[in-house]
Structure 1
């Protein structure tokens, strides 16, 4: 399907990207961390609370979203995107709010440490440790003690998948569901021919294939192996006994095919998977394009998936 007319008009208005421009995390954060929608226009929830979670690596800031006043809640941990070097609680606030309302979950967004100041495994450690903290403080958080899910977009989808793998390995708490929005699941860019979408959507759709190695180099700067499954979950050979999954992809996204391949690999391992590709749209559409009728339903779809089997 062709690019949605509104998106086509938007991208045609942008200046052509400079492939030789040096990527400076601090400069990119100014642009990438800016919310799209004013606070007063965002979905309203019953309560929002900012807290710090103590861990062995230091305090991790979190934001707790409560949909309505109840005695107990299922809990969803949300990990923001931003190529591991940008994004924060503010940049993804407008995404977390509708997920909170549509799902009925108490949602905890995690402001994990960013690369290059903190390369792998810092982000994964922070997110895993917050999940563990939730499981150990269920009374304080009014958790129902049964339903604990993870979700994330782009690099946050990578972290959600990796936390699921790590939780299965360590057996310190159970996870029930994982939601992966246009996830980045393969950080090895030695051969881009592995996924046709890397060529089909190489240029002109916002996120560009040629920029991916530089974006992810900050997370890998500590010398980590990009084929390690906790860095690139697509390389995990055993996907059995993982949480049921919802995988959402975008047609005009270089990362489309790795997300869809991961969904198929989960299915072959016996995991119940729901998969949805949104046509005519690009990577990162949750924040930028869900005002369009064709994509607004992504939050209801997510909520329905999370509410199943409660």
Structure 2
């Protein structure tokens, strides 16, 4: 499993200049570092027909609102009712935000030909598990109930996200199934974390020197899940859900040199065994986080194109 030369060059630069890794930073510093990374190497902000800030009332009034950003593709007319992809950003449930993913969500709206609702779920450690899970489900159910207001079709939606956001997408699909709620047309799961306590080979093989080090994983897990009894909760580790039938079709985008890649494959296998249609795209030589860095990785451009194509096929037929 050879690291791609472009990825190798980026990592060599990071380690050569002694840039601190996530576990060496406090929460504020880690968030700023992630914003800089996305701002430097994220895709350009493609034109769309409209961008609307959407305040979603939280489940409990005392918690205020969950902010989201709705993108409509340039191809859409002002009165068109569009399918929608809910997007949950990555960042270990602790860092990342809607602004950092602006370019990526614009690209997905363009390539998919659908509306994209990017959700600014609340972050740990200020808001530990299960806040992000609750916010993700609330954003979906409220938006579908208020589809007329948003100009979206509640019968055609997808759940999408990368890393921690991929986990939230998978967990939201499970919650909707368990509640006999509306079913998504697609789960678009980009290198999701599916098993917090995994001991699969990729966790050891890519434990150090591949961007998402073991220490950084622990940094995120400990902040998101301060109660270690929650580490095996299926809402944190969806591989523990017990049953996987009746879930939406799933498209996985994985990075070969990623400590989470075997966990993603294991979850894909469980879905397939339960009769869920599954497609897996593994990008050779790529590291965790590549998907949102299209200005640096040509493979990211291809991966986003495949993601957009999957959304288009699932939601527009």
TM-score by length of 1: 0.92
How has the CA–CA distance of structure 1 residues 72 and 164 changed in structure 2, closer, same or farther, with 3 Å as cutoff?
Answer: same
Answer yes or no: is 1:69 the counterpart of 2:56: no
Residue 45 of structure 1 is matched in structure 2 by 48
Contact 1:36 / 1:288 at 8 angstroms: preserved in 2? no
Residue 78 of structure 1 is matched in structure 2 by 87
Answer yes or no: is 1:89 the counterpart of 2:98: yes
Equivalents in 2 of 1:225, 1:23: separation in Å?
Answer: 24
How many residue pairs align between the two structures?
306
Q: Deviations over 1:217-255 (max 9, x none)?
A: 111125552111111001122000011101111011111
Residue 36 of structure 1 is matched in structure 2 by 39
Equivalents in 1 of 2:112, 2:22: separation in Å?
Answer: 43
Equivalents in 2 of 1:165, 1:126: separation in Å?
Answer: 15
Matched residue SS, 1:128: helix
Structure 1 window deviating more from structure 2 (214-223 vs 198-207): it is 214-223
Shift of the alpha carbon at 1:172?
A: 3.4
Q: Which residue, 176, 180, 184 being the options, matches 1:167?
A: 176
Answer yes or no: is 1:260 the counterpart of 2:262: no
Answer yes or no: is 1:205 the counterpart of 2:207: no
Matched residue SS, 2:210: coil
Residue 293 of structure 1 is matched in structure 2 by 298
Residue 218 of structure 1 is matched in structure 2 by 223
Shift of the alpha carbon at 1:173?
A: 2.7
Contact 2:43 / 2:292 at 8 angstroms: preserved in 1? no
How has the CA–CA distance of structure 1 residues 19 and 123 changed in structure 2, closer, same or farther, with 3 Å as cutoff?
Answer: closer
5+ residue gaps, structure 1: none
Equivalents in 2 of 1:60, 1:19: separation in Å?
Answer: 29
Answer yes or no: is 1:227 the counterpart of 2:232: yes
How has the CA–CA distance of structure 1 residues 290 and 274 changed in structure 2, closer, same or farther, with 3 Å as cutoff?
Answer: farther
Contact 1:252 / 1:281 at 8 angstroms: preserved in 2? yes
Equivalents in 1 of 2:208, 2:240: separation in Å?
Answer: 26
TM-score by length of 2: 0.90
Contact 1:36 / 1:287 at 8 angstroms: preserved in 2? no
Matched residue SS, 2:256: strand
Q: Which residue, 271, 279, 285 being the options, matches 1:274?
A: 279
Matched residue SS, 1:225: helix
How has the CA–CA distance of structure 1 residues 231 and 294 changed in structure 2, closer, same or farther, with 3 Å as cutoff?
Answer: closer
How has the CA–CA distance of structure 1 residues 59 and 235 changed in structure 2, closer, same or farther, with 3 Å as cutoff?
Answer: same
Shift of the alpha carbon at 1:287?
A: 2.0
Answer yes or no: is 1:114 the counterpart of 2:137: no
Q: Deviations over 1:133-161 (max 9, x none)?
A: 11111111222232111111101111111
Residue 7 of structure 1 is matched in structure 2 by 7
How has the CA–CA distance of structure 1 residues 223 and 10 changed in structure 2, closer, same or farther, with 3 Å as cutoff?
Answer: closer
RMSD: 2.1
Equivalents in 2 of 1:86, 1:20: separation in Å?
Answer: 10
Matched residue SS, 2:86: strand
Matched residue SS, 2:99: coil
5+ residue gaps, structure 2: none
- Greater helix share, 1 or 2? 2
Equivalents in 2 of 1:288, 1:303: separation in Å?
Answer: 16
- RCO greater where, 1 or 2, for CA within 8 Å and sep 6 or more? 2
How has the CA–CA distance of structure 1 residues 17 and 114 changed in structure 2, closer, same or farther, with 3 Å as cutoff?
Answer: same
